[in-house]
Amino acid sequence: MLYDIRLTIAHRYAGSAGNGRHLLRVLPRPLTGRQRVTAHLVDVTPLPDQRHDSVDFFGNAVTTVTHLEAHSKMSIRMSSRVEITAPVAFSGPHLGLGDLHRSLTVHNALDAASPLHFLGPSPRLHPNADIAEFARMNCDPTATVTRIVAQLGEALHRLITFDSTATTVDTDAAEAFAQRRGVCQDLSHIMILALQSLGIPAGYVSGYLRTLPPPGGVRLEGVDAMHAWVQAWCGPDQGWVEYDPTNATFVGTDHIVVAYGRDYSDVSPVIGYLRSSGKQTNSQSVDVACAD
Amino acid sequence: MNNSRHTQGASSPRDLLTGYRQQAGNRDEMLDGAGNVKPVWQEFLDHLQRLGDTDLTHRFARGDQYLRDAGVLYRQYDDTVSVDRGWPLSHLPVMLSEAEWREISAGLIQRADLLEHVVRDLYGPGELVASGQLPASLLTQNPAWLRPMVGVTPANGNFLNLLSFEIGRGPNGKWWVISDLVEAPSTAGFVIENRVAMTKVFPNFFNGSNVHRIAGFFQDFQQQLFNLRGNSKGQIALLSSGPANQNYAEHAYIARYLGMLLVEGEDLIVQDGHVMVRTVAGPKPLSLLWNRVPSALCDPLELDQTSLIGTPGLVDALRQQQLHLVNAIGAAVLETRALMAFLPKIARQHFGAPLKLPNIATWWCGQETARAHVIKHRDTMMVGSAFSTVPLMADSADQGAPAAPTQQEIAALLQRSGRELVGQESITLSTTPTYEDGALVARPMCIRLFLARTPDGWQVMPGGYAQVSAGNDAKAFAMQRGGKVADVWIRGEQPVETPSLLESGAAENRAATSRAALPSRAADNLFWLGRYVERAEQNIRLFRAYFARINDGASHDAPLLAFMRSHLMQDVAAQPAAMAERFGAPLDMALNAARKIGDRFAPDGLMALRALVATTSDLDQRDIPLEEFPRETSQLLRQITGFAGLVHENMYRSDGWRFLSLGISLERAANMAQLLSQLVGPDAPDGALDLALEVGDSVVSYHARFSILTNKVAIADILGVDDQNPRSIRYHVSRAKRHIAELPGQSDSHVLSDVARQILLLETTLAASAPSALTPEMLGKVKTDIWDIADALTLAHLV
């Protein structure tokens, strides 16, 4: 699949804001054998005084922009062309929970993909008894880890109503779980905690979702803004699988990865700081069009 | 014994030893195993026994007085409020022989090298994990391991430049390291204060007792800081989390002592990869930062995003090696409790030799064999969080995992969450004498020692900071729980070098920096300090004038009093408490502002302010008869004049002083304009002009110049345009103009700055005005002009 992806994020400040500094994580991430980024552009207005690109601990591209002079609005535009290849199905034996736990006790690596980073806690995710209980109730302990991921994801999809008005970007996973409502960010956070409570390494993925379904397909939830889903580690041979609890599906060629992290705080598209007195309003729009 | 205490003379030695009880099974610092006084203590004990109880009480009071005057306090936290309390100095030192100290030092220097080796690897190649010497999950699940710092090499090559270690003596007489303090060895400044206080308590003994001085250590550390800066000549600063932190006073003290700027996160900005201090003269580059803020809070963009005290972009600047740090951000991962389980083996691997000074025996329960050991020896162990940085024995948060009291439950807990738990051997600490109710009492203690990296390698401070328990419990060290602190004296065999604590070797360095920069935030606080104090003074004068008239028989409804309330006192209710609040509140704000600039405001200034606030709240809370009000407020006015005297007689004429003085002048000029505009107006009742003179404190000057009867023009003259009366508008506008001309950047060009132009125009207007021209409208305009000038000043220098 070939996609043309456009993202626009606009910030407006009630009072003018100076001395701003923002970290942007919005570019699709090159993934060998899966995602090839053939063209990309990140455009910020007003023109930043300084700008540089770097790669964070988890291997995500970060653009840093600073604005010294006061300004009343800022917009970030990202456009890119990405080629997605369908993942090859894993043919080896699928591990069960016990084997997974045993493989983790001998695992000893610090690299960005090491499952040990993803056992929790993380800045925004702390163990929660209710979510752990939900995980226990919806997991067949004799099933393979891959199957457990799907079981939990489906159960969560049934339990939580997608509702873009019920939560905000700062809502805590426990709170969203308690009210049984939320968006992709909440569903992903809850699912990560559920998986971790079973000792399954799990992380947060931010990215884009194709806007229009293929002919005969169903339009997915979460196409209007950046999307989020979950990755889970299923053993040393199988490695990471990605699952989208908002749409109750394993990730295929409709999802485009931007960043991997432990929770939202590791991958937020925009983290910013500026000196300003007034309120701030934000808007975001996304378009992911098929180009082939 | 108590009966005889007053009759004992200094000449007949007391026997303090007989009643001294060692705790069974514990070592004591003063007595050896056989109960004999150790040689290193003998001379001091003899000295102590020659002093009577009364004499000692006086001496202790002298030490406490010094600490109070120096503003050394600790903060007691209750449920909602925090209160400053007197510093709990145990007035007896802990004595160590130089020989024993050297042995400890060798162990700590080895440990400092080990910690540098470990932290360099944890943020670098990661070989300790790769080779299996450390389990990866000690990092991956550890909030103190800061991923954004991985791969960031310190600008000067070293992660660690200043360390402290807490050590204790176990029942076998050997010393153990209880904790490694990497991030905020926050007591170095208190060691100096303790030492100065102790020289007041035992002046005669101290001289000639071969006790090692600690000043040399600080001089070398200061030199190291200036060396690290290299040729860049940028600012050197101590980063504090601000007055809300309980150690703020120490931050301010040590910054001043070492000649560093005291800054907070919001004082710093990052421009083009360089960290700059926002000063009244614009951003100035910073080349070295002694960080006293928890690492994770230092940068809200890349570290803890909820931090409100950080500097956005700091991590980026470190990545570009544009700033030297003491110590590296993230080095606090070394404080992780579970690391102690692995350091002994890493040491053997790294040095080919065991640790010279063992740390407290620790088992990480993420490993099967260690877990089994902890379960088996549960009785002599404490179990707690693996990732905590507080030593288990001092941790009230998890005292031996109370959630799991039984053997089975502990075993289950360890099986389930072993990776997050450690077991640590409980050790009994040695005791040291304290003086309580006229007798010596043995209390458990531990000692904190300090190491600084110098060009000649690690140097150990020949002294230290002892914590002494309030009871027999080693958990009662915390001041919050009544614990005390003691000075540690290292006694040599030979006479020692005596560098002074007060003069520093790097005086020229200090001069170079102290002249340089005034952070905008500090200047802003000084400016507001001046304004609040002046506002309080004006309101006290109004209050006194009001109640003098009440005492003379006027009623609250009298025309002049009603006019005062509605036109001069913002419609305040006719109640003493509400009126007193009009100066009580600004005094609180003044004290608040002064607290935020601990390094720039002399302790006696702060004391004077504290006394003012205390007198005010006395006035508020006591039921003072009305007729006493004028007397009480006169007392307040004398105190406030005393404060103004300190400012003008004692403060160095720095930019900081200029902003303080500007705050006073602009506030006074504006308030006087406001007062006059009301009191010379057509609606003013009888007695308004006398009131103006009284509140303007110009009765005597007036009568020296004018006839006995008051008239509007003469009042407008003496309080408005007179350039010799320190109560007039003109006087303060002129003074403010002179201050502004001397501020940084104001004389760089023949084109006047906004603020300089505005104040020149105002001064000219006043100078050219006949007293009769000062109508209420004109005075109202003068007032708004003054506030416009304050705004322009803020814009130019303070934001």
Percent residues over pLDDT 90 in chain B: 57
Is any Cβ of chain B less than 8 angstroms from the Cβ of A169? no
Whether residues A116 and B313 touch (CB distance < 8 A) is answered with no
Q: Are strands B484-491 and A249-250 parallel, antiparallel or unpaired?
A: unpaired
Domain membership flag for residue A262: yes
Range of the domain at A28: 2-85+269-290
Quick one: pLDDT at residue A232? 98
**Complex ipTM, two decimals?**
0.94
In a domain, A91, yes or no: no
Q: What angle do CA B115, B118, B120 make, to 5 degrees?
A: 105
Q: For residue range B716-769, what is the model confidence (pLDDT) as tens digits? A: 999 999 999 999 999 999 999 999 999 988 877 778 889 999 999 999 999 999
Interchain contact, B141 vs A271, CB within 8 Å: no
B264 or B82: which carries more pLDDT confidence?
Answer: B264
Please give the structure tokens belonging to residue B556.
Answer: 């609250």
A114 and A7 in a common domain? no
* Domain-embedded: residue A202: yes
Query: Do residues A77 and A202 share a domain?
Result: no
- Partner A contacted by B369 (CB < 8 A): no
Position B388 scores a pLDDT of 86
Q: pLDDT (tens digit, 9 = 90+) per residue, B86-104?
A: 899 999 999 999 999 999 9
Distance from CA of A133 to the nearest CA of B (A): 16
A85 close to B (CB below 8 A): no
pLDDT digits (tens, 9 = 90+) for A70-114: 888 999 999 999 999 988 889 989 999 999 999 998 888 999 999
At B5, the pLDDT band (50, 70, 90 cuts) reads very low
CA A17, CA A273: separation in Å to the nearest integer?
10
The answer for B 267-286 residues in CB contact with A (under 8 A) is 269-273
pLDDT, tens only, B406-419: 667 777 888 778 88
Same domain, A108 and A159: yes
Verify whether the Cβ–Cβ distance B129 to A108 is below 8 Å.
yes
Both A283 and A241 in a single domain? no
What is the least distance, in Å, from the CA of A205 to any CA of chain B? 18
Residue B7 has pLDDT above 70, yes or no: no
Residues A76 and A155 in one domain: no
CA distance A47 to A152: 45
Same domain, A245 and A107: yes
Q: How deeply is B606 buried, as exposed, middle or buried, from its count of CB atoms within 10 A (0-12, 13-18, 19+)?
A: middle
On whether residue A35 sits in a domain, the answer given is yes
pLDDT higher than threshold 60 for residue A170: yes
Residue B415 Ramachandran class (φ > 0 left, ψ -120 to 50 alpha, else beta): alpha
For residue B350, pLDDT beyond 90: yes
The lowest-confidence range among A145-154, B639-648, B774-783 is B639-648
| Facing residue for B139 by CB, picked from A64, A110, A273 | A110
Q: What's the rounded Cα separation, in Å, for the pair B644 and B522?
A: 19
Interface test with A, best of B316, B320, B322, B388 (most A CBs within 10 A): B316
CATH code for the domain in which residue A282 is found: 2.60.40.2250
Both A190 and A275 in a single domain? no
Q: Does A68 touch chain B if contact means CB atoms closer than 8 Å?
A: yes
Report yes or no: A15 at the B interface, CB cutoff 8 Å. no
Q: What is the mean pLDDT of chain A?
A: 92
pLDDT digits (tens, 9 = 90+) for B108-151: 999 999 999 999 999 999 999 999 999 999 999 999 999 999 99
Rounded mean pLDDT of B542-564?
93
User: How many domains does one find in chain A?
Assistant: 2
CATH at A226: 3.10.620.30
Sheet holding A227-233, edge to edge: A249-250, A240-244, A227-233, A202-209, A255-261
pLDDT band for position B401 (50/70/90)? very low
- Judge whether A107 lies within some domain: yes
pLDDT at residue B505, as a whole number? 46
Residue of B137, B371, B521 to mutate for A, most A C-beta atoms under 10 A: B137
B395 — pLDDT class (breaks 50, 70, 90) = low
Confidence grade of residue B688 (pLDDT, cut at 50, 70, 90): very high
pLDDT number for residue B204: 85
C-alpha closest to that of B676 among B569, B764, B783? B783
A13-59 residue pLDDT tens: 887 778 899 999 999 999 999 999 999 999 999 999 999 999 999 99
pLDDT of amino acid B78: 67
Let me know how long chain B is. Answer: 799
**Residue A213 sits in the same domain as residue A171:** yes
> Chain A contacts of B386, Cβ < 8 Å?
none
Q: Nearest-CA neighbor of B366 among B178, B150, B145, B141?
A: B141
Question: Do the Cβ atoms of B98 and B489 come closer than 8 Å?
Answer: no
Is residue A90 included in any domain, yes or no? no
Closest CA to B705 of B718, B694, B696, B692: B718
CB-nearest to A110 from B140, B143, B302 is B140
Interface A–B counts its CB contacts (< 8 A) at 60
**A52 and A117 co-located in one domain:** no
Which residue of A21, A55, A58, A119 is the best one to mutate when testing the B interface, meaning the one whose CB has the most B CBs within 10 A? A21
A222 located within any domain = yes
Q: What angle do CA B272, B275, B277 make, to 5 degrees?
A: 125
Return the minimum-mean-pLDDT range out of A9-13, A61-65, A90-94, B624-628.
Answer: B624-628
Does residue A240 share a domain with residue A101? yes
Same domain, A119 and A223: yes
Nearest residue on chain B to A106, alpha-carbon basis? B135
Look at residue B11 and tell me whether its pLDDT is greater than 70: no
3-state secondary structure of A282: strand
Of B579, B582, B646, the residue nearest B611 (C-alpha): B646
- Clarify whether residues A190 and A226 are in a common domain: yes
Distance CA A111, CA A59 (A): 10
Q: Which positions in chain A touch B126 (Cβ < 8 Å)?
A: 110
Single pTM value for the model: 0.87
Return all residues near B749 (Cβ < 8 A) that are at least 6 apart. none
Render pLDDT for B242-252 as a digit per residue (tens, 0 to 9): 888 878 888 88
pLDDT tens digits, A37-47? 999 999 999 99
Pick from A65, A68, A110 the residue to mutate for testing the B interface (most B CBs within 10 Å).
A110
Q: What are all long-range contacts of B224-229, with beta carbons under 8 Å and residues at least 24 apart? A: B224/B161, B224/B452, B224/B453, B224/B454, B224/B455, B225/B258, B225/B260, B225/B288, B225/B290, B225/B326, B226/B506, B226/B509, B227/B455, B228/B156, B228/B161, B228/B288, B228/B324, B228/B326, B229/B287, B229/B288, B229/B324
**Min Cα separation B112/chain A (Å):** 25
Chain A: residue nearest B305 by CA?
A265
User: Quick one: pLDDT band at residue B158, thresholds 50, 70, 90?
Assistant: very high
- The answer to whether the Cβ–Cβ distance between B271 and A121 falls below 8 Å is no
Q: Give me the residue from A19, A23, A119 closest to B301, CB to CB.
A: A23
Answer whether B367 touches A (CB < 8 Å): no
Which candidate from B129, B135, B305 shows the least CB-CB separation from A123? Answer: B305
